[in-house]
Each structure stands twice: as structure tokens, then as C-alpha cells.
Amino acid sequence: MAETKVFPMNTFMSYLKGVDKEGQKKGVVELVSYMADTVVDEELAPFAGALAKAWIYEQHPEVIAMSPAQLASTAKNVSVPKLPAETVGEISALFAQLAMYKTTAVTQTEELAKVKAELAAKTATLIDVEAKLKAAEASVKRFEDSSQKDSEKILVAPLAKVTEYIGKVDELLKMIEDVKKHGVVTVAGGGAPAAGGAPAAAAEPVVDFGVEDTFTKSDW
């Protein structure tokens, strides 16, 4: 005779008919773990339960047509056996596959979290670099503006001198033109006759020998 274990009918109904799933969740996990002859957690219980339920319906097809009330009226407890070795093997293979998927998912989640952390760090670094770059560009702009202003100040004085020299050159050119035309240099304020006039007679030089001129005295 196959090994069996007694469970409350409420747990069995919850397992087969879905009655009070939340209230009987722990009992259903225990029932499935016993039938599958392995440790089943709440996450894997639905997978093992599906295989065990198929076996029960195969062995007792009359249960399929029974309502929860009819099933509850049969007894307060129910004795369930462990599943055949072949079915247990299927459950074990399924669990192994699910465990591998779960491990892969956990690994990928950890790797994703690591990538997100690295991305956040690089993003923070990029923001810092952009801020420093903007500050450097602003500093260069201020330096260029300051240099331009200083250059303008330095050029103001030489430009004034150049303007002054150009004015003097213009005056000199006018004087040269006057010489070419009239043979004299026109000086502002007089001193030379106007163009076409006769030149003034040159005054004879006076030589002083240090002798008193008695002829110029009034008592001569």
C-alpha cells in the first residue's frame, strides 16, 4: 500500500477547486510538497500542484464533476498518497529547469543593477565634466573680452599719434607744393609776401665795432 498522509478537506478543496486560496496557501504548499516528495516553496507550488492535480483527476475522475460543497460533504479529512516515481521525476526535472531560470533571472537582475549603478556614476561624471567645460568656456570668454578691451586701450594712443603725424605730413606736403609753385614757403601768420608779389629787399647787415658813433649825438 502506498504511503499516505491525512490533510484537512478544506486544504484539499483549496488545492483542487481553488476555494480560499489565500487562507489555505500554506496548507496547499505542504500538501503538494508531500505528494511531490520534495521541498516546494510558494513560488514553485503552482507548477508542482498542476502535475499532482492531473494525477489525482486521473486516479479519481469523479472528483472533477464534484462541486466544492459536494466534496466537502464527503469527509472532514482526506488521505493523499505520494506521487509515483515517474511523476516525481517529472516534477524534479521541472523544478530544476525553473531553478535554473530563477538563478539566471537573479544573475541578470544583479548585472542590470550593476550596469545601472555604473551608468548613474558615468552620468554624474559627465554632468560634472559638462559643468566644468561650461565654466572653462565662460572663463575663456571673459579672458578674450578682457584682452580685446586691453588691446583697444593700447591702440588708442598710437592711433592718436598716427593721426597727429598724418596732419603734420599734410602740412608739409602743402608747403612743398607752395615751394614748387612760387619758390617760397608760405608760413602761417605772415612773413613772406603773397603769391605773385615782389620779395622784400633784404636789410643790410649792421656791424658793431664797439666805437661810439658821435655823429648821432644831439649835441653834434
How far are the Cα atoms of 29, 155, 218 from residue 26, in angstroms, in the given order? 5, 93, 159
- pLDDT per position as a tens digit, 60-71: 888 888 888 888
DSSP state of 8: E
Q: Does a structural domain hold residue 160? A: no
Q: Domain for residue 195, yes or no?
A: no
72 occurs within a structural domain: yes
**What pTM, to 2 d.p., does this model score?**
0.43
**171 part of a folded domain:** no
- Cα dihedral 143, 147, 149, 154, rounded to 10, equals 160
In a domain, 78, yes or no: yes
What's the total number of domains in the chain? Answer: 1
| Assigned domain for 115 exists | no
Q: Is residue 50 part of a domain?
A: yes
Domain that holds residue 55: 4-83
Name residue, grid cell 561624471. Answer: 125
Whether 87 contacts 14, CB under 8 Å: no
For residue 177, count other CB atoms closer than 10 A to its CB. Answer: 11
pLDDT digits (tens, 9 = 90+) for 103-159: 898 888 888 888 888 888 888 888 988 888 888 888 888 877 776 776 666 656 566
In a domain, 39, yes or no: yes
Query: Could you give the 3-state DSSP secondary structure of residue 2?
Result: coil
User: Residue 81 in 3-state DSSP?
Assistant: strand
Q: Is 49 exposed, middle or buried (0-12, 13-18, 19+ CB in 10 A)?
A: buried
- What tens digit of pLDDT does each residue of 162-214 get? 777 778 877 888 888 777 777 655 555 444 454 455 555 555 555 454 545 55
Question: Is residue 97 predicted with pLDDT exceeding 80?
Answer: yes
- Range with the largest mean pLDDT of 48-52, 73-77, 147-151, 165-169: 73-77
Confidence at residue 187, expressed as pLDDT on a 0 to 100 scale:
53
